[in-house]
Amino acid sequence: MGEHADLLKRHQAVMPDWISLLYDQPIELVSGEGRRVTDGEGRTYLDFFAGILTNMLGYGVPEVREAIEAQLDTGVVHTSTLYLIRQQVELAERIAELSGIPDAKVFFANSGTEANEAALLLATQYRRSNQILALRNSYHGRSYAAMGITGNRGWSASSLTPVNVSYVHSGYRFRSPFRDLPDDAYTAACVEDLREVIATTTAGDVACMIAEPIQGVGGFATPPDGFFGAMKEVLDEYGILFVSDEVQTGWGRTGEHFWGIQAHGFVPAAMTFAKGLGNGIAIGGVVARGELMDTVRVNSISTFGGNPVATRAALAVLDYVRDHDLQANAREVGARLFAGLRALQEKHPVIGEVRGKGLMAGVELVEPDGRTPSTSTAARVLEGTRERGLLLGKGGLYGNVLRIAPPVTISSGEVDEGLRALADTFAAL
């Protein structure tokens, strides 16, 4: 029995059945450098999924490692928010400024799930309402309330929820009844649906709409620019807050903007963030208008959120993103990636759609009729690219979308290498 087979057997004995693993024969990643990782049996791969968009800078980044080591050298790994934490304050100042939100304040947690839970608490408390607008095909986390606002049955473990949710149309255009409309008409149709949903399924005093600018687990479904801006005009008529879930779209990954919501022409009341900020170190949080953040009037703490190690690492990550202009890299190298993917689409009818922005690319695979989801083909492509030394992700409502999101430090040459592996895999189907 090989290293991976033995570890899988042990995993299955003590870990929950609902913890998802990729591949027919799951692998363990034991080391990494740059954009490459090596598994427990010595095989090296080019990583096009970055730990679910979390290893944003890649692996073995000296600046981040040195920041972590410097904090460890102090002997202080944890204090809790009962004490002042200098680097936490410094990071909050940076994020508040980057957010563009007036009088912004920041709360730190450990993950995107926790961040979204906190945002729901703020919005429902501020508006004195438990009504939420969420999007179909969305994903916001694995906790009780986060699952309650997740519009994807494959990730919603329970119908029980502490919030009252109504779902509206999203940017998942490929399977929308409005799919054949041009951008302006598509947006207008979805906005009209929003009006109808508010009028027929809510009491009007909705707390917030929460939305991912590009739906991550949903297969990188991407609405037309200005889509959420048009929706916000309706929300403003009711005083409904807008919360942008930037867990996957933040920090310049879309190339065009630092935050995904900036493509829609407004500044939200709050944004949630996580994943890439720590480059693998657990950190998440909410940045919101001061009056919204301070709406909680009871004592609270965040035991591990914003701890000295995580915030020091995050400051190093933000410095690296700025100093190396990684947003520009995402835009320029991302354009090369999309050109290559669209060239593959022209050759292979199994590719129903290529969508996304920057270094977030979704490739939806279909049966010969051009519409039916081809989950089995997605699984075969995932296996085929792994055999050729390339790691991808998979998602979408039906599990038929390849999710391509490499570290934003990736080079043009590495993109070309990944595209060759994809081309060879599709040719072999």
The CATH class of the 3-60+325-427 domain is alpha beta
Report which DSSP code applies to 128: T
- Is residue 222 within 8 A of residue 355, CB to CB? The reply is yes
91 sits in which H/E element? helix 86-99
The neighbouring-strand residues paired with 31 are: 38
Note the pLDDT of residue 157. Answer: 79
Boundaries of every domain in the chain: 3-60+325-427, 76-323
Task: Examine the pLDDT at 307 and tell me if it is beyond 80.
Answer: yes
Task: Examine the pLDDT at 1 and tell me if it is beyond 90.
Answer: no
Task: Examine the pLDDT at 159 and tell me if it is beyond 80.
Answer: yes
Question: Measured between alpha carbons, how far is 44 from 337 in angstroms, rounded to an integer?
Answer: 21
Taking the alpha carbons of 45, 36, 307, 76 in that order, is the dihedral positive or negative?
positive
pLDDT in tens, 191-224: 999 999 999 999 999 999 999 999 999 999 999 9
Note the pLDDT of residue 258. Answer: 98
- Percent of the chain, pLDDT > 70? 100
Question: How confident is residue 156, by pLDDT bands cut at 50, 70 and 90?
Answer: confident
Please compute the mean of the pLDDT values over residues 310-320 and round it to a whole number. 98
Question: How confident is residue 19, by pLDDT bands cut at 50, 70 and 90?
Answer: very high
Task: Examine the pLDDT at 155 and tell me if it is beyond 90.
Answer: no
Taking the alpha carbons of 208, 213, 219, 221 in that order, is the dihedral positive or negative?
positive
Please compute the mean of the pLDDT values over residues 164-175 and round it to a whole number. 96
pLDDT in tens, 173-186: 999 999 999 999 99
Please compute the mean of the pLDDT values over residues 292-299 and round it to a whole number. 94
Note the pLDDT of residue 150. Answer: 95
Residues in CB range of 96: below 8 A, 6 or more apart = 104, 105, 106, 287
Query: Within 10 Å of residue 41's Cβ, how many Cβ atoms?
Result: 12
pLDDT in tens, 371-392: 999 999 999 999 999 999 999 9
Tokens of 194: 């929003």
- Phi-psi sector, 279: left (phi>0), alpha (psi -120 to 50), beta: left
Task: Examine the pLDDT at 153 and tell me if it is beyond 90.
Answer: no
Task: Examine the pLDDT at 252 and tell me if it is beyond 80.
Answer: yes
Query: Within 10 Å of residue 15's Cβ, how many Cβ atoms?
Result: 11
Q: Which is more confidently placed, 84 or 155?
A: 84
pLDDT in tens, 131-146: 999 999 999 999 999 9
- Percent of the chain, pLDDT > 90? 96
Question: Measured between alpha carbons, how far is 380 from 399 in angstroms, rounded to an integer?
Answer: 12
Q: What is the mean pLDDT of the chain?
A: 97
- Phi-psi sector, 210: left (phi>0), alpha (psi -120 to 50), beta: beta
pLDDT in tens, 81-126: 999 999 999 999 999 999 999 999 999 999 999 999 999 999 999 9
Architecture per CATH, domain 76-323, reads as: 3-Layer(aba) Sandwich (3.40)
Please compute the mean of the pLDDT values over residues 25-41 and round it to a whole number. 97
